[in-house]
Amino acid sequence: MTEASTINYEATKKPCKVCFVTIGATASFDKLLKAVLDDPFLEALRRAEYTELLIQYGKEEGKAIYESFISREHDNVKRTCGINIAGFDFNTNGLGEQMRKAKGHPGNGSKEGLVISHAGSGTILDALRVGVPLVVVPNTELLHNHQVELAEELAKQEYVVHGSLNDLAASISEAEKLRERKRQWPPPNSGDESYKRGLAGVMDDEMGWVD
C-alpha cells in the first residue's frame, strides 16, 4: 500500500489535465463507455499524466453503466491511477464548457488534454473549433455508417485521431502526436477567392445581386 499512497501524493502535484469523453445525445454508445472505463485505457491515461476523466454518458443504459462503475471502482482508480472520474448525462446548453476544460488554460496551470467523441459532426466541429486534440470513435452499431467516412477523411488530413473501440488505449499516445502537429481548423483555403466566395457568392448569384 505504500506504493499506492506515493502515487496518490504525486497525483496531487500533477497539473490538471482533462480527458473529456462524449457519447452524444441521440443514441446510446455503451461500447465507448465500457472502453473508457476499462483498465488498459485508464492505465494509458495515467501514463500520459491525465488527472481527470470527464464523461458525458447519456440516459438510461449509459447512466447505469457509469454509476455502477463509479460505485464499484472509483476509489480504486483514484488510488492506483491518480485519476478523478466525473460524469453527467447530457447538457442541453452544449458541451462548450467541457471542451474548454479539456483544452486547458495556462492561466490556472492546467495542461491541454483530450476529447474523445462519437462521430457526430456537430461535436467534431465544436472540438476542432476549440482546438483541442480529438479522438473520433464511430459507433459501428448505427446504420448511418457514413460517419466512418468522415472520421477516416479527417484522420487522413491529420485533424483527428480515428479511434478504435478494440484498442482505445493506443489512441491516447496517437493524440499526443496529434498535439505536436497542431493542425488548425478551418482549413486555410476555406473562404478563399478560388472557391467563388463560398455560400455568399452562390446566394448573390441566385438573387441576381452583383457586388
Partner 1 sequence: MLRCVPVLSLKFTHRTYVVSSGDGFSALKAREFEMEIAARQADPAKTQGAGEILHAIRGSYDIVAVRRARRVHQSLSSTPWTASLCVWDCIRVIMGRNPRRTGLPPHRSWTGVCVVLASLIVLFFGFSGPASSTSGEKVEEEPDRLSRWQQSGQMRTIFIESWARVKTLSLSGKILLPFVDRFLVQWPALEGKGGGKAEFVGALVA
Binding site for partner 1 (CB under 8 A): 25-27, 92-94, 121-122, 125, 146-147, 149-150, 152-153, 185-187, 189-192, 195-203, 205-207, 209
The half-sphere exposure of 195 on its side-chain side, counting CA atoms within 13 A, is: 10
Closest to partner 1 by CB, 19 vs 134, is 134
Closest to partner 1 by CB, 9 vs 195, is 195
The CA distances from residue 80 to 10, 42, 51, 159, 169, in Å, are 11, 10, 12, 33, 17
Least distance (Å) between residue 80 CB and partner 1: 38
Least distance (Å) between residue 19 CB and partner 1: 24
| Ramachandran sector of residue 128 (left: φ over 0; alpha: ψ -120 to 50; beta: rest) | alpha
Least distance (Å) between residue 208 CB and partner 1: 8
Closest to partner 1 by CB, 1 vs 207, is 207
Least distance (Å) between residue 126 CB and partner 1: 11
Closest to partner 1 by CB, 70 vs 142, is 142
Query: What does the DSSP assignment read for 108-150?
Result: GTPEEEEEEE-S-HHHHHHHHHHT--EEE---TTSS-THHHHH
